[in-house]
A and B are shown apart, each in its own frame.
Chain A
Amino acid sequence: MDNTVIVIGGGISGLTAAGMLAQQGLDVTLLEKENETGGHLARWDRLFPDRKKASEVLDFAMEGLNKVKIVTGVAITGISRQDHEFTVSTNLRDSGYGMQDAGYQSPVPSPQSPVPSTQSPVPSPQSQYTASALLVATGFDLFEARKKEEYGYGIYNNVITSADLEEQFKSGRKVLTSEGKTPGRIGFIHCVGSRDEKVGNLYCSKICCVTGVKQAIELKEMFPESEVFNFYMDLRMFDRHFEELYYEAQQKWGVSFIRGRLSECSENPDGSIILKTEDTLTGKPLKMTVDLLVLLSGFVPSGGTRGISKMLGLQEGTDGFINSADQHSQNNLSGIEGVFLAGAIKGPISVSESVADARAAAAQIACYLSSFKVTND
């Protein structure tokens, strides 16, 4: 057992953990499937509850990476293990390494983005990396909103997801309808793909509630005259300052909250969207026309998470996310010696929780490589 670690996944969890590990003098290789690191955070504008710039959080995480070997644009084709050494085989995801693939827009304009100085030279199409410990931080994907066909994403032009909206915020442009108009009335739909057995996801994605509140406020800031409605089942303001933000949305910004799940929507000839829902507090069916509809898509285990999980034989929960060895005291341990977990691979999690979790994972890995006991076995 030497002091080598491979971190799989270059989102906020993987980056934070890699930085922590490298700062402690460990030899860290980070593998990322996309051509840029940063994951979902790189596409996000501002974070709840304090509206901090996502890029600042990312920049902070990137600062510690100068000693980390970062390999991007690679797909993992296999993981094998001999005694205490893991070998991870990779393949280039597309032939033109370093070029951006056709559909992929760089989330962070490269000149300003902190390009890690130790980025490895162009690897051969197939490479192998070895290490004594693996940290799997393959994260989540956003729920594919098209699966809720009745919500019209991909069918009606004025139905977008929270991620689409965030990209608009990030671009600095005004958020307009597909007809180029200011949206006079905007609806937010909570729990899209979460707590919904009909799409196979029973769990709560946890961060959408407060995201909806944050984005509602941001739209009100942009369009003080517009009406904003949030349709929710429950509002789970679980963390510090969230409840205050929710109050602020109502009291300062006049955002309306209606307890009712969207049943379906249809499109008017002018492109506006008719919502059919129920106000469950009055017990009456409700119809409303909005100019823009934002779907708060939840978390699903990422494609990478599913793939790596199969390769390593990780414990998948009924929700598809990965179970740790023990949710309370061994939450970064996978149950397989030398394989550690961090971030949204274990389920929906906020950025601040990801950072904390990644640091915890880094500490555990450092202990493990120094032959401190990390389990009670």
Chain B
Amino acid sequence: MIKFNLFVLPFSLGLIYIVTSIVMHYYRWIKALPAVDKVKLSAGIRTPSKVLASLKEIFLEGLIHRKLWKRNPLLGYMHMSFAFGWFLLIVMGNLESRVYHGAYINAPYYPIFLKFFIHDRLVLFFEIFTVPAFFRFIMDFLLLFVLSGLVLAWIKRKQSKWFGMKQTTMHNFFDRVALSCLWLIFPMRLLAESYTAGYFHGGGGFLTQNLGNLLVMITPGPAELIAYFFWWTYSLVLGLFFIMMPYSRYMHIPSELLLIVFRHCGIQPRKWGSSFSDLEVRSCSRCGVCIDACQLNFAAGINTIQAVYLIRSQREQYIPENIAQTCMLCGRCQEACPVGIKIDSLRLIKRREIGSGQVSDFSYLTNPHPGFADVVYFAGCMSQLTPSIPIAMEGIFKEAGINYLFIDRNGSICCGRPLMLAGKDKQANELIEFNKTLIRQTRAKLLVTSCPICYKVFREEYNLPIRIQHHSQYLLELVKDGKIALQSQHRRVVYHDPCDLGRGGNIYQAPRELLGKISDLEPVEKDRTNALCCGGSLALMGTSMRTKDEVTLDALESLLAGDPDILVTACPLCKKTFSKLSKTEVRDIAELVYDAIPSRKTRIAGTVKDPEVVIS
């Protein structure tokens, strides 16, 4: 049996190239890991549960594309047909080749081009129940499966909206070449196998045999030569695709596999970058889901800075400053990313490079002893700009009889996060140390903050030995413990999830539960992980106020679609941002809670006073 022909060479060379390349990439990524991460990796791959979890995720995300299915079934099916279909073609093709070849080791090209080498005919009727016939059927079925995805991919080029995507990525040269190859691979295979089956009157399945018979009938010229031509083309586009792969978006396929393993071993992105982040960069499929998720795109028309372009410029070793800085770090793209890339941390790595050189002078800070208390209340500097919030919180502390200390009553020392968002971690750490000392001195067991921005940094960077709560959690606890009794005001409210509380702090339920007790909470279209940013993000640098306003107005339109009485949020920055442009009253959840205490003795927070009473 002949098992070689010249046309297998392009494929074989391509395969050798890509395998070598992947091995080298893997080696480099693993070798460059920080020592701590290497330990995690080697421990992880020896832990069966982690290996199983990795394999499960590889199967679900790498082959089935579960997240894309959830996003849009057509998009999910398209990706699944390519990934899972191709994977099954390889597996089944290998099994099929065993039928005709008993050796343990085949040349890698052999199963791929099996139909070139094998063209036996089914002679008798009952042979359709034999193993070869089964494989013919299954291989044709799988080919059809992949081709159906290909047809969808073509449609998606023109009608991306049907796939739940308004905008798609602008691709570069290598991507386009690789994409063209990818699109040609399966039609070439179909034609090659069909012509072969048609010429030999056998060897094909329901698809290739029938198509082959038809093609041979209607095309003039020597069918054998035409078939041979298509075998060459098939091999060439496969080989070219493999060679293009490391330079194109398709490198995401092998990269993502390793990334999943890394993640299951507990490896995290590092502040100054590590090979984990390099791997994340290579794992981006440039699908462009992040473009649609980005409010700067759909609300403000900025469409050059999204995650996919950040990552691409990172891959090209140069991130323009505006791409790093023009971002609200709201986390929406991160939430939408089917690969689960920590996009915000990638952007912050670049910001740290930019921001680390600058110096700040904190010599004006003094450190008087704050006093002692059970609960430390840190309003945060944003709450200083919305005094209704700390006034409400103090009222509630008093009503509940809490031994509390309003640690930043007379002006706060910044929590450090705004500096971190600007990449100034070194400077932020000075403030963090300062605040840590202050908080520790109080000997409190609980730190409550009104600001989700502070909440996030307290939890992630402070390493405090005490509990940390956002006021929405704390107030709910006070209610549950019977410390405060609330009476619903039955106002129709909608709740806006602040980025740093929701996506950043994973607190979605507490504010909703609380609002359910004191108001008539109505749903909004985009909430929880899909919630919109208010537009006031401190992370957004180098853009005009107009851009922020456009984002805010768009978010307001969505939130106020049901014309509620009050727009409630749980973040002073969101409140301030929305208040500027909202025609509907905007309040913090703490203000509403305070208003809902029927027995309250202290002044109602934020109530508009009559200017006439000011002066006697």
Contact = CB atoms under 8 A, between A and B. Distances in A.
B410 A274 contact: yes
A287 to B, nearest CB: 7
A23 interface: no
Interface in B588-615: 605-606, 608-609, 611, 613-615
A150 B387 CA distance: 6
A155 interface: yes
A84 interface: no
A263 B385 CA distance: 8
Interface stretch (A171-179, A207-215, A327-335): A171-179
A175 B387 CA distance: 25
A263 B616 CA distance: 28
Interface string B569-601: 000000010011100000000000000000000
Interface in A237-291: 263-267, 274, 276, 284-285, 287
A115 interface: no
A158 interface: yes
Nearest to B364: A285
A96 interface: no
Contacts of A160: 611, 614-615
Contacts of A276: 384, 411
A160 to B, nearest CB: 5
Given A150-B384, A178-B613, A276-B411, A198 B545 contact: yes
A221 interface: no
Contacts of B384: 150, 263-264, 266, 276
B580 A198 contact: yes
A287 B409 CA distance: 13
Nearest to B409: A266
B160 interface: no
B579 A147 contact: yes
Nearest to A155: B387
B580 A149 contact: no
Given A155-B609, A266-B410, A276-B384, A149 B576 contact: yes
A4 B198 CA distance: 94
Contacts of B386: 149-150
B608 A154 contact: yes
A276 to B, nearest CB: 5
Given A155-B609, A266-B410, A197 B545 contact: yes
Contacts of A139: none
Contacts of A177: 615
A155 B614 contact: no
A284 to B, nearest CB: 6
A285 B363 CA distance: 11
A102 to B, nearest CB: 13
Interface string A137-149: 0000000001101
A152 interface: yes
Given A155-B606, A276-B384, A284 B364 contact: yes
B611 A161 contact: yes
B391 interface: yes
A199 interface: yes
Contact of A199 (B391, B580, B605, B611): B580
A152 B611 CA distance: 12
Contact of A157 (B409, B549, B613): B613
Contacts of B364: 284-285
A287 B411 contact: yes
Interface string A276-319: 10000000110100000000000000000000000000000000
A216 B172 CA distance: 65
A263 B381 CA distance: 10
A164 interface: yes
A3 interface: no
Interface of A: 146-147, 149-150, 152, 154-161, 164, 168, 173, 175-178, 180, 197-200, 263-267, 274, 276, 284-285, 287
14 contacts: A149-B386, A149-B579, A152-B387, A154-B608, A154-B609, A156-B387, A157-B614, A164-B611, A175-B615, A178-B613, A178-B614, A178-B616, A200-B580, A276-B411
Given A198-B545, A263-B385, 4 more contacts: A155-B388, A155-B391, A176-B616, A287-B410
